[in-house]
Structure 1
Amino acid sequence: MNDLSRRDASLRLRPWASLLLFLSAYAPLMAILILKDIDPASPWWVRSPVYCTILLLLGVVSCVTTLATVRGLSRGLPVVVTKAANRSGDMFSYTIPYLLSFVRIDPHDWQTVAGLCIFMGMLFVMAYRTQTVFINPVLAMAGYMLVDCTFRRDDKERQALVITRAPIGMGETHHVTQLSYYLYIATPVAAPNGDGHAPS
């Protein structure tokens, strides 16, 4: 089996880690729901303090975890890019549940909350099973792009989606780390001078 097809055990994310990555995609939605619950006449300035506290903690923890996970990945394998096309628009596939921000959600209505949990749970299972939790609008806001790449290593070609902060062009060499079978992330190369760029 070649290096590009071998999956490192560390990349087989545990369910709780995948859940935090998934939840981070909806951190802005959580902020919107908290904003909609604000009531200056209430003692805590919100109608449902427990509900808002849970949303706030989930949003902050999931975003910090996502950004730390991506930035903490080690340098991957060098590959030569033969084709590249921007697919960053796919990161907006997570925006469908944002329509919930236009609906009044009563946290005291257990039927509404249960239905919402079932809906989000179904989306999470789909993202987890397809290993697409890294395709995330929070990463887009942090400056990451999604690129459809064909790259070559050791005379073997592979086509996959690559998450990257730097533009990827044909003929360029980049280091990539495998996240799932068809998803990679371009990792920066630390130069000896410590400036984060590969030496020329």
Structure 2
Amino acid sequence: MEADLQIKFPAALIIFIGSYFPLSLILIAQDYNYDMVTSSICNIITSNNCIIPFNNGYYTITFFIVCLLCFLISLGALSTIKPKTPVNITQSKYIPAELMSYTLPYIVSFMSIDYQETGKFVGLLVFLCWIFLITFRSGQLILNPLLIVFGWRLYEIKYTFPGDGNERTAKTLSKSPLQPGERYNQSIIQDIMIIKSNQKP
């Protein structure tokens, strides 16, 4: 039986920030100065008078880059997982992702959040901190609905280990449809089972 790998705080923070990459896109779109759409694009190498077409370019672009880097790191880390422990699946049920806690910050982003309104911006950061702590402590951090875009799906399965008839239940992330009666290789990260494909014969 494989040990349950626990996500360290820095890695958890990277996963959480990366999961809100779409939010950074929304904020950057809201902050864009659309009066400059028809303006010519200047060459930042040869010109000293370039104007960034954002109302708060420093904060907007920084948040976007940080979210993008964290998201790419998260995908890269997930791709390096090599499930090795075999399990026999006896039952499998697809679970639609729970989106409420994930989408709340997106709803907040449309409530006239402005980087220059310090109170509202700090309030959004406090709100995100609470969501992070809740998801981190509950062990659900890796259940990022954004992974759906990249082919990952959440299942609830019943399974047994080879040679052990005790049936167990787990939530599972998998890129392949999970079929009862099949054997798969898995790894467990913070109570969430990761399955990538059937066990090779």
Interval of TM-score (by shorter of Structure 1 and Structure 2): 0.7 to 0.9
Q: Structure 1 residue aligned with 2:66, among 58, 67, 70?
A: 58
Matched residue SS, 2:167 = strand
Residues 1:76 and 2:70 aligned together: no
In the alignment, is the contact (CA less than 8 A) between 1:91 and 1:140 conserved in 2?
Answer: no
In the alignment, is the contact (CA less than 8 A) between 1:91 and 1:135 conserved in 2?
Answer: no
Structure 1: 5+ residue stretches without partners? 190-196
Instruction: Provide the residue aligned with 1:198 in structure 2.
Output: 200
Q: Structure 2 residue aligned with 1:14, among 8, 30, 41?
A: 8
* Cα offsets for 1:124-175 (capped at 9, x unmatched): 0011111211100221111100000011102222101000000001111111
Q: Distance in 2 between matches of 1:93 and 1:176?
A: 27
Structure 2: 5+ residue stretches without partners? 37-50
Aligned residues: CA RMSD: 1.8
In the alignment, is the contact (CA less than 8 A) between 1:23 and 1:59 conserved in 2?
Answer: yes
- Normalized against structure 1, the TM-score is what? 0.85
Distance 1:99-1:56 versus aligned 2 partners, 3 A rule: same
Matched residue SS, 1:73 = coil
Q: Structure 2 residue aligned with 1:184, among 167, 174, 193?
A: 193
**Percent of aligned pairs sharing the same letter:** 24
Q: Distance in 2 between matches of 1:14 and 1:82?
A: 32
Matches for 1:149-188 after TM superposition, within 5 Å:
149-153=157-161, 154-181=164-191, 183-188=192-197
Residues 1:107 and 2:112 aligned together: no
Q: Distance in 1 between matches of 2:109 and 2:151?
A: 24
Matched residue SS, 2:108 = helix
Amino acid at match of 1:33: L
Instruction: Provide the residue aligned with 1:122 in structure 2.
Output: 130
In the alignment, is the contact (CA less than 8 A) between 2:7 and 2:190 conserved in 1?
Answer: no
Instruction: Provide the residue aligned with 1:147 in structure 2.
Output: 155
Larger radius of gyration: 2
Q: Distance in 1 between matches of 2:101 and 2:177?
A: 22
Distance 1:52-1:94 versus aligned 2 partners, 3 A rule: same
* Cα offsets for 1:36-56 (capped at 9, x unmatched): 111044620111111112221
| Paired residues, number | 185
In the alignment, is the contact (CA less than 8 A) between 2:92 and 2:179 conserved in 1?
Answer: yes
